[in-house]
A = this chain, B = another copy of it.
Amino acid sequence: MDPVNFDTHPDQYRHWQLSFDGEIARLKMAVDSDHALRPGYELKLNSYDLAVDIELADAIQRIRFEHPEVRTVVFSADIDRVFCSGANIYMLGASTHSFKVNFCKFTNETRLYLEDASANSGIRFLAACKGATAGGGYELALACDEIILVDDGSSTVSFPETPLLAVLPGTGGLTRLVDKRKVRRDRADVFCTLAEGIKGKRAVKWNLVDAVLPKSKFDEGVEARAKELAASVADVPHGPAIELAPLQPRVEDDSFNYRHVSLELQRDKRTATLTVNAPDKAPPTTLDAALAEGADLWALRAFRELDNALLRLRLNEPEIGTVLLRTAGNPEHVIAADKLIADHRETNGLIREIALMQARVLRRVDNTARSFFAVAEQGACFAGIMLELALAADRVYMLEDDDEQVGVWTSVANAGGYPMSNGLTRLHVRFYAEPAQVDKVLSRGAEGMIPTTDADDLGLATVAADDIDFEDELRIAVEERASLSPDALTGMEASLRYPGPETMETKIFGRLSAWQNWIFTRPNATGKTGALTLYGQPERPTFNWTRT
């Protein structure tokens, strides 16, 4: 099967029409049923697969960078009686478990990015649901700030997953229902078992949607509300606009090479090495100089590349279980790059977007179901935002060299601005038992490089070893890791990476995704006579009635 490609551009979109009208952007879902990601199913009735969602993620990213004038994004559909019928069921039925889970993770991230843009970038999202809004279609609407449903006597919002498919709505729907829209739990229970959904005034009363409008007044009402929303957003800095240049990695059989990032695969060992390089020259120190670099600015380019590499790894290399995270380059360049971002993110729209994008990519690392071991040897550059990568890793291996060339460096990026999904900094999560240690690390880092021995004393290294032992210790650890059950590791890592508070985002990735994974594996859904398997066929599913 061809690997999934995550690079796209509005000129190439097959499934969305993106248009701009001053402060209002419109994203019209117009799924081309003949251009699914894989052969074997058609994307009828604005159902979607990963190909559709890759375009959506691209569109949201481009709106933030290329169209900073936008204040409201309106979602609508090109079909008259269907807004979106959700993830394509035949695609789900034909997919491997691993693909389903990673598909859902990606779509979850994309929806969280709408909410990120709403919370941090002064953009409001309005779902204009002029027709059936089902399953993942309603989940997309739930990720918007407001939902307007047509009141035509038939159009409903619905979660038919449980009654029709014996699975859960897979894209955060249950969590957003009771946690974001705070729908009363007993009403949520009724709604989630009602295949036909809920329409009209009851949908408003239950807070499933914000308003209903008759068909005759729908377009005009949506337009008016979009303008109101645009006028109501807090006035954060916007722009300047830049164009996101294509990444064009050099793709070889066992490696991807980007400008700043490379991913090398050792498939026979089920491991990979992901290397991020520091800026190769001193980065701009003034805002004007930074803006002149545009999409070439290291902070933006390197993290877009890292994001792309992570996605390829997740979807195209499912058997790579262990990833060595390496870094290289001049730490001073990274610290300077971090400082520029921190100095201007509050006052410049583009710099803020770069910072938010970096934060999203770091959370994508946190949420990637692979074992990450950060490796600091000669030449490594775990500095500032690249130290965040080490803090996101499950373990940190550091070489103790005699001349103290190996170590880590802190920057302003480690003190805040790049929260994990639970809202804490990675240093706070690491030192959850002793918060005072965070300041100790930052104070020590302010004095300069923290060599391995000190880093180990401060609690930053998992394993510190001298050159006699280092290579062996690392090799054995990687071999051992690669020998463990991938399922147990996924559950273990998901449980250990997020001590502390929970947020809607951690609930979605922790609780909801775990239940959904479980249900996807159950014969009642995906067995020979499971509901997902038999969907659309005359046969009725047969269930094992045992409750667990």
Contact = CB atoms under 8 A, between A and B. Distances in A.
Interface in A485-523: 485-497, 499-502, 507, 510-512, 514-519, 521-522
Interface stretch (A77-85, A121-129, A182-190, A231-239): A182-190
A318 B394 CA distance: 38
Contacts of A485: 162, 166, 519, 522, 524-525, 531, 541, 543
Pick the 3 closest A-B CB pairs, nearest first: A182-B433, A166-B485, A514-B514
A12 interface: no
A269 to B, nearest CB: 11
Chain A contact surface mostly:
helix
Given A162-B484, A488-B168, A510-B511, A462 B546 contact: no
A432 B488 contact: no
Contact of A394 (B174, B186, B492): B186
A488 B166 contact: yes
B192 A430 contact: no
A490 B511 CA distance: 12
A179 interface: yes
Contacts of A501: 502
B515 A491 contact: yes
A316 interface: no
A96 B523 CA distance: 14
Contacts of A541: 485
Contact of A488 (B96, B161, B177, B490): B161
Interface in A175-211: 175, 177-179, 181-190, 192-193, 207
A180 to B, nearest CB: 9
Interface in A131-149: none
Contact of A396 (B186, B193, B507): B186
B462 A187 contact: yes
A491 B193 CA distance: 13
Interface in A341-369: 369
Contact of A177 (B97, B161, B496, B516): B496
B548 A369 contact: yes
A412 interface: no
Interface in A428-459: 429-433, 459
Interface string A19-47: 00000000000000000000000000000
Contacts of A524: 485-488
Interface string A149-183: 00000000000011101111000001101110111
A262 to B, nearest CB: 21
Contact of A101 (B459, B462, B489, B548): B548
The number of times this chain is found in the oligomer is: 2
Contacts of A514: 511, 514-515, 517-518
A547 B486 contact: yes
Contacts of A517: 514-515, 518, 548
Contact of A547 (B167, B318, B531): B318
Contacts of A330: none
Contact of A432 (B182, B493, B497, B500): B182
A370 B548 CA distance: 8
A248 interface: no
A306 to B, nearest CB: 19
A225 interface: no
A321 interface: yes
Given A185-B429, A514-B511, A496 B547 contact: no
Given A495-B174, A547-B490, A430 B184 contact: yes
B512 A495 contact: yes
Contacts of A487: 166, 518-519, 522, 524-525, 548
A161 B178 CA distance: 34
B462 A491 contact: no
Contacts of A183: 433
Nearest to A547: B486
A98 interface: yes
A74 interface: no
A66 interface: no
A320 interface: yes
A252 interface: no
A319 interface: yes
Given A185-B430, A488-B161, A370 B192 contact: no
Interface in A365-381: 369-370
Given A175-B495, A462-B190, A545 B486 contact: yes
Nearest to A460: B186
Interface in A87-140: 96-98, 101-102
Contacts of A432: 178, 182, 184-185
Contacts of A185: 394, 429-430, 432, 496-497, 499
A480 interface: yes
